[in-house]
Amino acid sequence: MSKVFNLIDKEEKRQGSQIHLIPSENIASEAVRKAVGSVLANKYAEGYAGRRYYQGNSVVDEIENLAIERGKKLLGVPHINVQPYSGSPANAAVLMALVEPGDKICGLKLSGGGHLTHGHPNITFSGKYYTSVQYDVEEDGRIDYEKLGKLVKTEKPKLIWAGTTAYPFILDWERFRKVADLVGAWLVADISHIVGLVVGAIHESPVQWADVITSTTHKTLRGPRGAFIAVTEKGLQRDIDLAKKIDRAVFPGMQGGPHINSIGAMAVAFEEANLDEFREYAKQIVVNAKVLAESLRDEGFKVFGTENHLMVVEIGNHQEDEKIVGDGKQMAVALEKAGIIVNANTVPHDKAGPFRPSGIRIGTPWETTRGMKEEGMTKIAKWMAVVRDCMGDDGKLLKIRGEVEEYLTSRK
């Protein structure tokens, strides 16, 4: 037993001594983690509150109902399902509820900042069991809604995904709605990345435009690992049975027993997200990201964005005639040696593949939660410039690692 806990201690120290810029990661509160590790994890509760298959669920029903009530209030929706194990199963359930195998669906390409579950061809369930048509971003990294409209008019998908994992601009929900209405498609907003900005009132909510909203709860929302599916008034107007269809797709369609410990932690996170403190945090995420993007530009980086919590930074020269590709990965590895954690990422229209892409993706939620402000962002940009300029020099990278650690310790 102690082996695992020694490793957990080690991981805690690592988290405390490195800078975290992966935009999907965050630090959940003690209260959230306490609920995740609580006795709620012991219970099986297939079904929904008041309609369970096993006995002993009177308290569990209260927990799930509380999460549902708080979630509905936070998102401003008439129905929410809090059982999805994570974002990908939530999206799978939405597809199961709204379309039939083989039906046409439409989502943003992975290389343009979309998610695997939005119809990535061949290797994902969404690309394999449905006919997938994908849209892309332009050279500047932005979605061209007129072009999307034309594609949708020609292809006539039954469902359109609006949601991103590496898109540094604000999504125009109204335009997505207009595009979906061209062919009567379902509009599903997947706000996994930006949910904290949406409930923190920084990014417009898709609630009056989308039929269904999906989101993870462990990214900018700072909750447990998990996800929810919300049904909007608009969605219910279109199909009075929509909520029932979604619930049935989650259980028994895709899942068995819900993770009640995660659902309890979700109820905690929903409450935390209602506080003024959370709105301050959401605001600071965007301020920090803007300062980081500007400081990186000052250091000579090419930066896509930002209007939200993340940006994509081009590292290498990715022209076709260039031998050097994959500089994003090299940069990510060098940064790790220097105590700064990012992930390699494709840039818009990347000539290199997703395994060794030309850029890195960086975001500010984690460090904002840790209380970092603008002056921390300029420091990070300076460190990143040094790392870029001395990628192969382990001595220099280690020196930065020392500076990073010292900076983080000085702020504790």
Ligand X SMILES: *Cc1c(COP(=O)(O)O)cnc(C)c1O
- Give the one residue of 132, 192, 358, 369 binding ligand X; rule: CB under 6 A: 192
Residue 84 or 316 with smaller CB distance to ligand X: 84
23 is a contact residue toward ligand X (CB under 6 A): no
Say how many residues touch ligand X, by CB under 6 A: 14
Minimum distance from CB of 38 to ligand X (Å)?
21
Neighbours of 276 (CB within 10 A): 7
Q: Does 216 bind ligand X (CB under 6 A)?
A: yes
Looking at the DSSP assignment, which residues form a beta bridge with residue 313? Answer: 303, 360
State how far the Cα of 383 lies from the Cα of 320, in Å rounded to an integer: 29
CB of 321 vs ligand X, minimal distance in Å:
34
Q: Which CB atom, from 142 or from 382, has the smaller least distance to ligand X?
A: 142
Contact between 190 and ligand X (CB under 6 A)? Answer: yes
Any contact of residue 163 with ligand X (CB under 6 A)? yes
CB of 74 to ligand X, least distance (A): 19
Nearer to ligand X, 18 or 24 (CB): 24
225 as an active site residue: the answer is yes
The active-site residue out of 136, 190, 327, 350 is 190
The residues, any chain, with a CB within 8 Å of residue 389's CB and separated by 6 or more, are none
Distance of alpha carbon 387 from alpha carbon 363, whole angstroms? 18
Tell the smallest beta-carbon distance from residue 87 to ligand X (Å).
2
Instruction: Label each residue of the chain as H, E or C.
Output: CHHHHHHHHHHHHHHHHCEECCCCCCCCCHHHHHHHCCHHHHCCCCEECCEECCCCCHHHHHHHHHHHHHHHHHHCCCEEECCCCCHHHHHHHHHHHHCCCCCEEEEECHHHCCCHHHCCECCCHHHHCCEEEEECECCCCCECHHHHHHHHHHHCCCEEEEECCCCCCCCCHHHHHHHHHHHCCEEEEECCCCHHHHHCCCCCCCCCCCCEEEEECCCCCCCCCCEEEEECHHHHHHCCCHHHHHHHHHHHHHCCCCCHHHHHHHHHHHHHCCCHHHHHHHHHHHHHHHHHHHHHHHCCCEEECCCCCEEEEECCCCCCCCCCCCHHHHHHHHHHHCCEECEEECCCCCCCCCCCCCEEEEECHHHHHCCCCHHHHHHHHHHHHHHHHCCCCHHHHHHHHHHHHHHHHHCC
- Name the minimum Å distance from CB 120 to ligand X: 11
CB of 172 within 8 A of CB of 121? no
Q: Is 165 in the site for ligand X (CB under 6 A)?
A: yes
Q: Does 115 bind ligand X (CB under 6 A)?
A: yes
In the list 18, 26, 117, 308, the residue contacting ligand X (rule: CB under 6 A) is: 117
Distance separating alpha carbons of residues 303 and 298, to the nearest angstrom: 10
Closest-by-Cβ residue to ligand X is 87
Return the range that interacts with ligand X (CB under 6 A); candidates 33-41, 46-54, 141-149, 190-198: 190-198
In the complex, the smallest distance separating the C-beta of residue 363 from ligand X, rounded to whole angstroms, is 11
Region near ligand X per CB under 6 A, out of 34-42, 169-177, 186-194, 395-403: 186-194
Identify whether 44 is a catalytic site residue. Answer: yes
Residue 149 touching ligand X (CB under 6 A): no
Nearer to ligand X, 163 or 316 (CB): 163
Rule CB under 6 A: say whether 107 interacts with ligand X: no
Question: Terminal CA-to-CA distance of the chain, rounded, Å?
Answer: 30
Please, what's the largest Cα pairwise distance for the chain?
A: 66
Q: Which is nearer to ligand X, 206 or 339 (CB)?
A: 206
Residue 120 interacts with ligand X (CB under 6 A): yes or no:
no
Out of 20, 104, 177, 193, the residue judged to bind ligand X by CB under 6 A: 193
> Of the listed 109, 225, 337, 396, which one is catalytic?
225
Q: Which is nearer to ligand X, 190 or 350 (CB)?
A: 190
Taking residues 49 to 88 in sequence order and writing x for each that binds ligand X by CB under 6 A, - otherwise, the string is -------------------------------------xxx
| 305 near ligand X (CB under 6 A) | no
By CB under 6 A, which span of 37-45, 132-140, 158-166, 298-306 interacts with ligand X?
Answer: 158-166
Give the total residue count for the chain: 412
- By CB under 6 A, is residue 196 in contact with ligand X? no
Q: Is 272 a catalytic residue?
A: no
Q: Is 367 in the site for ligand X (CB under 6 A)?
A: no
Which residues here bind ligand X, judged by CB under 6 A? 24, 86-88, 91, 115, 117, 163-165, 190, 192-193, 216
Catalytic residues: 44, 46, 190, 216, 219, 225
